[in-house]
Every structure is written in structure tokens, then in C-alpha cells.
Amino acid sequence: MFTGSKILLVNGRRATDEDVSVRFGEGQIAVLAKGSNSLLASMPYSNVAGATFVDARDPKWDPSLFSPPTNLDMPGFIRTAKRWLVVQARDSFLILRLDDASWRRVIETFEARTGKTVQRPR
């Protein structure tokens, strides 16, 4: 389990963030609320259509897959570069802000478990 991450929860154009842990196992990516460990979101490995990683102010994703609106209202007033992993399926997505200490291991684990290569656009 990887701690210290955040998930962006999208409602329409508005996004809020929540502290989470990310777990890979039992054939799925599970996103658990910090403290309670309640399941906030999950995606079976078999549903993953693509993933994008950027170290940037805002997350990036493949617009040809299911994704949030392009004019997403991000949380926070002052935004600096963060490490974002966006995982997309045909009918859902996960937007994760990864912890600075573990982001490489999260991506390595993601690629090993899903068999998908994470795209890294510039």
C-alpha cells in the first residue's frame, strides 16, 4: 500500500482532493480514504485503457478516453508542480496526486500489475 497520495474527486467541472492510500491487489487498483481505509474508488486492472504521468501544475490525460472536462476547476489557490497519475478506462478515470517519496514505485507497480505502459507527455 502506498500512503501520502491524494485523489481528485470530480463533480461536474469542480474537483476536490482527499488524502488517500493506493493499494494494488486482488486484480484492482483500490483508493482508500486516509484514516478510515474506506474504499473511495477502484478500477480492475482489466479495465485500464491507458495511464498518463506528468510532473506539472495540472494533471494530463488522453482526451480520446473517458476523462474529466477540459476546463476542470482544480482545488487550491496557489498551485505548483505536482506528480500526477491519471488512470483511464472506457467509462471511468482516477486522478491521483502521488507522494514525492513513492511516485516511482507506484508507477512501477502499476505497470507490472496492469501490463500497461504509463505515458509521459512533455
Domain boundaries of the chain, sorted by first residue: 2-114
Looking at residue 71, its pLDDT comes to 84
Looking at residue 72, its pLDDT comes to 86
**Which fold would CATH assign to domain 2-114?**
PH-domain like (2.30.29)
- The contacts found for 29-35 with CB under 8 angstroms, 24 or more apart, are 29/87, 29/94, 29/110, 29/113, 29/114, 31/7, 31/94, 31/96, 32/1, 34/3
pTM of the model: 0.93
Q: What is the pLDDT of residues 1-33, one digit of tens each?
A: 999 999 999 999 899 999 999 999 999 999 999
Between CA 95 and CA 17 the distance in angstroms is 10
Q: What is the pLDDT of residues 102-113, one digit of tens each?
A: 999 999 999 999
Looking at residue 81, its pLDDT comes to 86
Looking at residue 78, its pLDDT comes to 64
Between CA 68 and CA 98 the distance in angstroms is 18
Q: What is the pLDDT of residues 40-90, one digit of tens each?
A: 999 999 999 999 999 999 999 999 999 998 888 888 766 788 999 999 999
- The more confident residue out of 69 and 114 is 114
Q: What are phi and psi of 48, to 5 degrees?
A: -65, 120
